[in-house]
Amino acid sequence: MNLKTSKIISLPKILDSRGSLSFFENSNQIPFDIKRTYWIYDVPGGVTRGGHAFKNSHEFIISLSGSFDVILNDGKKELKFSLNRSYYGLYVPSMFWRSLENFATNSLALIVSSVPYDDTDYIRDFEKFKILRNEAKK
Ligand code: TYD
């Protein structure tokens, strides 16, 4: 398995007297072809979303409004990214356990994925994830 690295990706920001505009294009700013877009909103205080990994799909996560944290685990260590601006986002490759938490009221998380929705791509058991991930590193 070819394991990739998570990273913050800055997006273009076009600012003039009318306000700001940012964008990304298929495989231009982000390192995969976009097959699906979804968004998470109306998250009650204290709730954690996610809590799973994907075998194959890659994602790019942006906070379009408000703020939240993305916690990534690579099977050994944990990394926390705070997303709170709409001109950058987090690239999450396959085989990272990821959770979204600490949502501020009225936050809007936009997520683009490299695959159409596929329940069989999910790993929902953290212990199973750690075994698969650490085997893939060998
Ligand atoms: P889930 O992936 O569990 O959400 P989160 O990662 O934020 O905890 O998805 C919640 C429900 O929505 C689940 O029943 C599957 C469904 N769903 C779709 O039908 N299409 C999608 O693109 C996504 C992301 C979820």
Terminal-to-terminal C-alpha distance of the chain: 9
Residue nearest to atom 17 of ligand 1 (CA): 117
Compute the average pLDDT of residues 85-112: 98
Q: Is the pTM value of this prediction over 0.85? A: yes
DSSP summary character for residue 120? G
Kindly report, residue by residue over 47-84, the tens digit of the pLDDT: 999 999 999 999 999 999 999 999 999 999 999 999 99
Kindly report, residue by residue over 124-134, the tens digit of the pLDDT: 999 999 999 99
- Ligand 1, CB within 6 Å, residue ranges: 36, 38, 40, 49-50, 117
pLDDT at 2: 66
Question: Is the pLDDT confidence value at 85 over 70?
Answer: yes
Q: Which residue has the tokens 């936009």?
A: 110
pLDDT above 90: percentage of residues in the chain: 92
Residues 84, 89, 93, 94, CA torsion sign: positive
pLDDT at 1: 60
Strand partners, 127: none
Under a CB-based contact definition with an 8 Å cutoff, are residues 47 and 93 in contact?
Answer: no
Residue nearest to atom 19 of ligand 1 (CA): 117
Q: Is 58 assigned a catalytic role?
A: no
